[in-house]
Structures are given as C-alpha cells and as structure tokens.
C-alpha cells in the first residue's frame, strides 16, 4: 500500500483524510493537538457563549472505524523532501505522498514582543486564555475603587477590522458588556468602552462597500468605537498607542495579521512574503509532484491573479481535490487545475445581525444571520456538536444568559493579580 502522510488535521487535512480513508492506502495523520477545532466559532468560546467541547472533536474518534488510518499526536519539525521523510518526535516517517495542511499563525509584523500584551485567536488554547483574561478584568474592575485605575480593565481594544476582529468586537460588546456585567455590583455597561482599530479606510476590507457600511452601523449600535485609517504604533502592559492617542487597556486582542506555519520554511520550496508555499496548479510544490500544500499554508492565485482567501471552504475544497489525485494515482500531466467553487463569505456582528455574500447575493441583517447560523451548524463536525451549539444559541437567544464563565486555569495567578 502507498504511504500517505497528512500533517495537520484542520479543515484541509481532515477533509483529505476522510476521503482517502476509504481507499487502499496506508494513512498517517499527525497533528500537534488531539482535536479538530472549528475556528469560525472560536470567538464564541473566547466570549463565553460556547464551551470548548461544542466546537471541537478528537481527531482519533473521526477515524476509529478506519484501520488503515493512524493518528499521531505531535509537532512535525522538519520535512526532508529529497529523502521523502517527515521528522517527528525524534523519529522519521517515510511517505509516498505528503499533504501539508498546517494552517497559519498570527503575524505581528515583526513586533513579536506585542504578542504577550495582545493575544490572537487561532487555537482553543488562545480562546480559553482570552476568555479568562476578559473574566479576570471584570473581576479586577469590580474590586477597584479608583475610577482611573478601573477604566483600564473596562476598556476592550481589538486590533484588525477583518471578520475575526468584527466578530470579536460585536460579541464582547453584546455578550460580555451587555449581559455578564449585570451580575456585578460596582461596574456597569456605561463604564465600558470597546474599540475596533483598522488601518484601512473600512472594516471588512475584502467585502463589498455596502456590506462594510452595514457592519459599521451595526457595530456603532452596539456602542463599539471604530477607529479607521489609523495604525497601532505601540502595545505594552498599559495599553496601546494609535495615532496620537493612548488607550489604557488590559484587554487588547490581536486580529490583524497572519503568516504560514513555520514548518513550510523547512520544505525548502519557494514561499511568498507571508511564508506560504507557492504551489503549482495542482497544489503540489514545484520540486515534487507528490508533495502537496493546501489551505492557509498554500499560496495560490486564481485566473484573475488574486490570492484565494484564507477561509475554510478553500482548505476543504483543496483537501478534496488532492485526495482525488492521490486516490486515483494521477500523475502530473493527467491532473486538472484546481478550481475553487466560491460559495461566498459571511461575518456576524452580535445576535441576529450578520453580513455576507452568498453565491454572489449580498445579504445583511437578520436574513444574513439566519444563513450564517444555518451554514455554521451544517459544517460543524459531529451530530452532538451540532445539537449542543443549536441548544446553546436558542437558550442564549431567549434568555440573553451565556453560561460558560469559569476561571480555572489561572486561578493562582488570579489571586496574586487582584
């Protein structure tokens, strides 16, 4: 049997593995976490609307019925494309076909020291850290009697006005500030500020102008102050500098930049300026037609010379395409060019509001939000997760009471911090 190694079981890797598992192939999946996470709903874990298990599933459990699929936990550090080997936890694994689907990390545009003051949201760990950071801030503000000192804990700053930044700003304003805060005695909604900062002239820069304007209006209704055309020049433990203004905040979140996972560098193939591998029309690297890079880790342009967006449908369709090549053992010449079927993109702004383009049709408001909810439930993996998320949303929609507000991981730090 041919050996296939898949590095990364996110949207792209998992899709490829699910298809390939039905063929006579020896498949090894390696991931540095033991779970697949549905990243589009991470912001709801970070803002206490959902619980981690609602949007994650153990990779091993997806393949429990498939004896030809082995799942290994660990981080691949090096790929030797000449020897066709993957270096992993001190051992080497050989492959006939390799699929690299390692996604992307945050990019702080060379200011890596900002990360400790402004965490980004990519993994479940990030979401849990952010959640505790927000909950801790509210607890600290509740105990602080000096209004100047207290304000730092009640200012929320989100840097980056793309979909993740917009969704975080809306959810913090609505879930954290409008709802959770009512359980406190000394702090109120009117004491809080939420800022969304975008360096470009509009939020959701990749969306049509009309939808960006709708999103802006919706955020304003949620009392989010949107700062456009301004770059953040400093982030430290006190807060951030934007233009000539300094905003004191202990809640700074980064949603501004991405770069490919560092593993891509070790491939020794050509990369673009964000570190993604430049792949050919069949998503293979130019040095080897049986090494594929897919999803956020790949740099690939469409007919109009535009990069494909870093979104889940692109990764999933690429996973499916590559699986087809491998399962049919197609060689370079018989491979058709990868074509993306663009079904659209969506972003939500709090409860019952969203914007999106679906099959070329612009949607906003409640209709967009219903479409957004339906699509997200549909693509969640596992019936139990679909049911749980739906139940949580209905409960929250009716009661306005998000449930998951535990501070546990940093309990000791909490005592010294407050």
**142 is an active site residue:** no
Alpha carbon 259 to chain centroid, angstroms? 12
Question: Site for ligand FAD (CB under 6 A): which residue of 26, 70, 75, 178?
Answer: 75
What angle separates helix 11-20 from helix 312-327, to the nearest 10 degrees? 30
Task: Report how far residue 224's alpha carbon sits from residue 400's, in angstroms, rounded to the nearest whole number.
Answer: 19
Q: Does 13 bind ligand FAD (CB under 6 A)?
A: yes
Q: In angstroms, give the least distance from the CB of 331 to ligand FAD.
A: 25
Please spell the DSSP secondary structure of 292-316, one letter per residue: EE-GGGEE-B-TTS-BPPS-HHHHH
Instruction: Give the CB-nearest residue to ligand FAD.
Output: 10
Residue 227 corresponds to which tokens in the numbers above?
């700062």
- Identify the three-state secondary structure at position 48: coil
Q: In angstroms, give the least distance from the CB of 242 to ligand FAD.
A: 22
Q: In angstroms, give the least distance from the CB of 60 to ligand FAD.
A: 13
Please spell the DSSP secondary structure of 195-248, one letter per residue: EEE-SSSSSSTTS-HHHHHHHHHHHHHTTEEEE-S--EEEE-SSEEEETTEEEE
Question: Site for ligand FAD (CB under 6 A): which residue of 48, 164, 179, 249?
Answer: 164
Q: What is the largest CA-CA distance in the chain?
A: 72
- For ligand FAD, the closer of residues 4 and 311 by Cβ is 311
Q: Does 158 bind ligand FAD (CB under 6 A)?
A: no
103 phi-psi bin (left φ>0, alpha ψ -120 to 50, beta other): left
Question: Site for ligand FAD (CB under 6 A): which residue of 57, 86, 118, 121?
Answer: 121
Q: Does 39 bind ligand FAD (CB under 6 A)?
A: yes
Q: In angstroms, give the least distance from the CB of 223 to ligand FAD.
A: 23
Question: Site for ligand FAD (CB under 6 A): which residue of 31, 132, 174, 198?
Answer: 31
Task: Report how far residue 151's alpha carbon sits from residue 173's, in angstroms, rounded to the nearest whole number.
Answer: 15
Q: Does 350 bind ligand FAD (CB under 6 A)?
A: no
Question: Site for ligand FAD (CB under 6 A): which residue of 5, 12, 323, 350?
Answer: 12
- For ligand FAD, the closer of residues 295 and 402 by Cβ is 295
Q: Does 153 bind ligand FAD (CB under 6 A)?
A: no
Residue 311: name the closest of 293, 295, 294, 322 by CA: 295
Q: Does 160 bind ligand FAD (CB under 6 A)?
A: no
Q: Is 13 exposed, middle or buried (0-12, 13-18, 19+ CB in 10 A)?
A: buried
Residue 100: name the closest of 319, 373, 392, 313 by CA: 319
Q: Does 275 bind ligand FAD (CB under 6 A)?
A: no
Cα atoms in the 13 Å half-sphere on the side-chain side of 279: 30
Q: In angstroms, give the least distance from the CB of 103 to ligand FAD.
A: 3
Q: In angstroms, give the least distance from the CB of 206 to ligand FAD.
A: 12
Alpha carbon 343 to chain centroid, angstroms? 19
Q: In angstroms, give the least distance from the CB of 40 to ligand FAD.
A: 3
Residue 189 corresponds to which tokens in the numbers above?
């909604």
Annotated catalytic residue within 167, 174, 198, 392: 167
Q: Does 8 bind ligand FAD (CB under 6 A)?
A: yes
Taking the CA atoms of 141, 145, 148 and 149 in sequence, report the sign of the dihedral they define: negative
Binding mask 287-326 for ligand FAD (x = CB under 6 A): --------xxx------------xxxx-x-----------
Question: Site for ligand FAD (CB under 6 A): which residue of 44, 48, 102, 179?
Answer: 102
Give the binding site for ligand FAD (CB under 6 A): 7-13, 30-33, 39-40, 42-43, 75-76, 101-103, 121-122, 163-164, 261, 263, 295-297, 310-313, 315
Q: Any idea which residues carry the catalytic annotation?
A: 167
């Amino acid at each position: 049997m041919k050996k296939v190694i898949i590095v990364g079981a996110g949207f792209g890797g998992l899709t490829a593995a699910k298809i390939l598992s039905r063929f006579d192939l020896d498949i090894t999946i390696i991931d540095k976490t033991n779970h697949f996470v549905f990243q589009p709903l991470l912001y709801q874990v970070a803002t206490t609307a959902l619980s981690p298990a609602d949007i994650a599933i153990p990779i091993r459990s997806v393949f429990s019925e498939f004896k030809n699929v082995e799942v290994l936990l660990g981080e691949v550090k090096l790929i030797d494309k000449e020897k066709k080997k993957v270096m992993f936890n001190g051992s080497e694994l050989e492959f006939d076909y390799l699929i690299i689907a390692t996604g992307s990390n945050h990019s702080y545009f060379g200011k890596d020291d900002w990360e400790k003051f402004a965490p980004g949201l990519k993994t479940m760990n990030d979401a849990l850290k952010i959640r505790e950071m927000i909950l801790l801030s509210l607890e600290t503000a509740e105990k602080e009697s000096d209004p100047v000192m207290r304000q730092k804990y009640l200012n929320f700053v989100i840097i980056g006005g793309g979909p993740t930044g917009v969704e975080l700003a809306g959810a913090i304003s609505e879930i954290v500030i409008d709802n959770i805060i009512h359980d406190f005695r000394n702090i109120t909604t009117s004491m809080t500020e939420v800022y969304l900062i975008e360096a470009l002239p509009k939020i959701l820069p990749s969306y049509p102008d009309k939808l960006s304007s709708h999103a802006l209006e919706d955020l304003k209704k949620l009392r989010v102050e949107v700062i456009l055309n301004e770059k953040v020049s400093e982030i430290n433990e006190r807060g951030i500098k934007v233009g000539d203004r300094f905003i004191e905040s202990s809640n700074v979140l980064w949603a501004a930049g991405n770069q490919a996972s560092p593993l891509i560098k070790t491939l020794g193939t050509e990369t673009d300026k964000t570190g993604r591998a430049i792949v050919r029309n069949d998503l293979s690297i130019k040095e080897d037609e049986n090494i594929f890079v897919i999803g956020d880790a790949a740099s690939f342009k469409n007919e109009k010379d535009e990069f494909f967006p870093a979104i889940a449908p692109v990764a999933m369709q690429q996973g499916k395409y590559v699986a087809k090549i491998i399962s049919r053992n197609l060689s370079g010449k018989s491979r058709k060019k990868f074509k993306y079927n663009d079904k659209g993109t969506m972003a939500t702004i709090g409860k019952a509001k969203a914007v999106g383009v679906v099959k070329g049709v612009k949607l906003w408001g409640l209709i967009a939000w219903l479409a957004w909810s339906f699509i997200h439930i549909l693509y969640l993996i596992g019936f139990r997760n679909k049911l749980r998320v739906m139940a949580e949303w209905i409960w929250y929609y009716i009661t306005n009471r998000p449930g998951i507000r535990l501070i546990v991981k940093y309990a000791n730090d909490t005592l010294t911090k407050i």
